[in-house]
């Protein structure tokens, strides 16, 4: 049930606020959380606001918004350093974004009660940490890379949707960073199948993929694809005489 802009989630106000503090804190600490669709959507709304405030605190450490952030997070125990991480590590990742810091991905219904489940994750999270270990989250990125491998193995061209999503997911990242992250995920997936990783060949495939991601007119490709499928096609408006 939704009243105004916030869902009640079948809870009293104090219980609901405690739930949101816990979910948003876990999201910022680990990069992704899984829960019911309604809870993820509501936590996404709160997390978006918290990250927007954190960006302003990053610019002005004396901002009164700092207390607003603290009131919406659990900052004790394992999360004792979360405030510092949020302001100085997470917020700068979204300096060029005005919103859209989180992503809700719908999953299969829960087995027990068939409740709709979703995965809530931060966008633009680095694939690897400073030690070269994979960070938690980034499920959409992993699925996209897996799709490109499947297309290559089947001898199919990359789909327009895959290219479009890779371009979106690369916003805020340099081409070199995206190339390195795609290569790291491909290597992991290939070695998981007990296959040999051929560095020159695979890096060549990654460069070919990125050439299509950045060098293809995706709008034109979509129009051509619709025309092949018998769908609509944009035409120029006739000039007035």
The rounded Cα 143 to chain-centroid distance in angstroms is: 11
Query: Does residue 117 sit in the same domain as residue 38?
Result: yes
Does the residue 134 lie in any domain? no
CATH of the domain at 165: 1.10.246.170
CATH of the domain at 112: 3.90.1030.10
What SS3 class is residue 167?
helix
Question: How many other C-beta atoms are found inside a 10 Å radius of the C-beta of residue 157?
Answer: 11
Query: Does residue 76 sit in the same domain as residue 152?
Result: no
Rg (CA), the chain: 21
Burial class (CB in 10 A: 0-12, 13-18, 19+), 212: middle
Does the residue 14 lie in any domain? yes
Question: The whole model's pTM is what?
Answer: 0.78
Of the candidates 209, 211, 225, the residue with the CA atom closest to the CA atom of residue 151:
209
Query: Does residue 181 sit in the same domain as residue 207?
Result: yes
CB 108 within 8 A of CB 117: yes
Query: Does residue 12 sit in the same domain as residue 102?
Result: yes
Distance CA 229, CA 115 (A): 36
Q: How does pLDDT run along the chain (241 residues), one tens digit per residue?
A: 344 455 667 778 888 889 999 999 999 999 999 999 999 999 999 999 999 999 999 999 899 999 999 999 988 887 888 999 999 999 998 988 888 999 999 988 888 888 889 999 998 888 988 888 898 888 999 999 999 999 999 999 998 889 989 988 888 788 999 999 999 999 999 999 999 999 999 999 999 999 999 887 767 666 666 666 665 555 677 777 6
> Could you tell me the residue range of the domain that residue 208 belongs to?
139-228
Query: Does residue 101 sit in the same domain as residue 189?
Result: no
Query: Does residue 101 sit in the same domain as residue 156?
Result: no
CB 36 within 8 A of CB 114: no
Query: Does residue 95 sit in the same domain as residue 186?
Result: no
pLDDT of residue 216: 76
Query: Does residue 181 sit in the same domain as residue 79?
Result: no
Domain count within the chain: 2
């Amino acid at each position: 049930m939704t009243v105004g802009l916030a869902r009640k989630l079948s809870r009293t106000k104090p219980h609901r606020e405690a739930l949101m503090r816990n979910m948003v804190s876990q999201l910022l600490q680990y990069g992704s959380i899984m829960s019911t669709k309604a809870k993820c959507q509501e936590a996404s709304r709160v997390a978006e606001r918290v990250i927007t405030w954190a960006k302003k605190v990053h610019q002005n450490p004396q901002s009164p918004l700092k207390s607003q952030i603290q009131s919406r997070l659990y900052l004790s125990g394992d999360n004792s350093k979360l405030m510092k991480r949020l302001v100085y590590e997470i917020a700068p990742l979204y300096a060029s974004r005005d919103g859209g810091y989180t992503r809700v991905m719908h999953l299969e219904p829960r087995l027990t009660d068939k409740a709709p489940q979703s995965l809530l994750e931060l966008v633009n999270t680095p694939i690897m940490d400073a030690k070269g270990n994979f960070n938690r989250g980034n499920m959409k990125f992993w699925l996209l890379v897996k799709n490109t491998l499947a297309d290559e193995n089947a001898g199919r061209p990359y789909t327009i949707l895959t290219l479009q999503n890779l371009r979106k997911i690369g916003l805020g990242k340099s081409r070199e960073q995206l190339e390195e992250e795609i290569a790291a995920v491909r290597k992991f997936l290939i070695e998981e199948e007990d296959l040999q990783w051929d560095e020159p060949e695979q890096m060549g495939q990654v460069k070919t993929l990125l050439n299509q991601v950045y060098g293809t007119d995706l709008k034109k490709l979509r129009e051509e694809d619709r025309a092949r499928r018998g769908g609509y096609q944009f035409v120029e408006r006739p000039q007035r005489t």
